[in-house]
Structures are given as C-alpha cells and as structure tokens.
C-alpha cells in the first residue's frame, strides 16, 4: 500500500446561501478577502499551509455557505 498523494483543495461558496456576514474573512484573513459589498472573494487552489485557515472559515460560516472541494472535481 502506498500513501495517498496529498490532495489539493480549494474553497467553494454557495453564493445563494452566503449573506455577506464576513466571519470567514475574520478567521481566515490570509485566504479570504471581502469585496466592496462584504462578500468573500475566494482564492484558487489552496497551498497546504492555507488549508487550516480555510477549514476554520468553513466551520465559522453561520450560513454553512462554504465548503472545501478537491481540485480536479467534476464541477468547475
């Protein structure tokens, strides 16, 4: 058995669920920036040391609008 290769992840947001509350940017300011209306602008593929902050953002969202997805998934 070989170890599974490191999976690259990225953050996704459901823009319908997102209400621009902005907690995500507070707990993960290195990863998430807010636009001029307070909605998160997400980075592309996450480098490994951003993954932790991204997970914090996912957990922090009161609308559960954020999730992590493996890059190369079936949805663009």
Exposed/middle/buried for residue 12 (C-beta within 10 Å: 0-12, 13-18, 19+)? middle
Cα separation, 24 vs 26, whole angstroms: 5
Residues in the chain: 76
Least CB distance from residue 17 to other proteins, whole Å?
8
> Among 1, 13, 8, which Cα is nearest to 47's?
8
Segment lying near other proteins (by CB under 8 A), choices 1-9, 23-31, 32-40, 48-56:
32-40
Site string for other proteins, 39-68 (x = CB under 8 A): x-x-------------------------x-
Q: Return residues touching other proteins (CB under 8 A).
A: 12, 14-16, 18-20, 35-39, 41, 67, 69, 73-75
């Amino acid at each position: 058995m070989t170890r599974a290769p490191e999976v690259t992840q990225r953050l996704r947001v459901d823009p319908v669920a997102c209400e621009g509350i902005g907690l995500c940017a507070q707990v993960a300011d290195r990863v998430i920036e807010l636009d001029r209306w307070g909605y998160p602008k997400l980075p592309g593929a996450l480098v490994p040391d951003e993954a932790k902050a991204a997970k914090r953002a996912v957990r922090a969202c009161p609308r559960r609008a954020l999730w992590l997805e493996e890059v190369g998934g079936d949805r663009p």
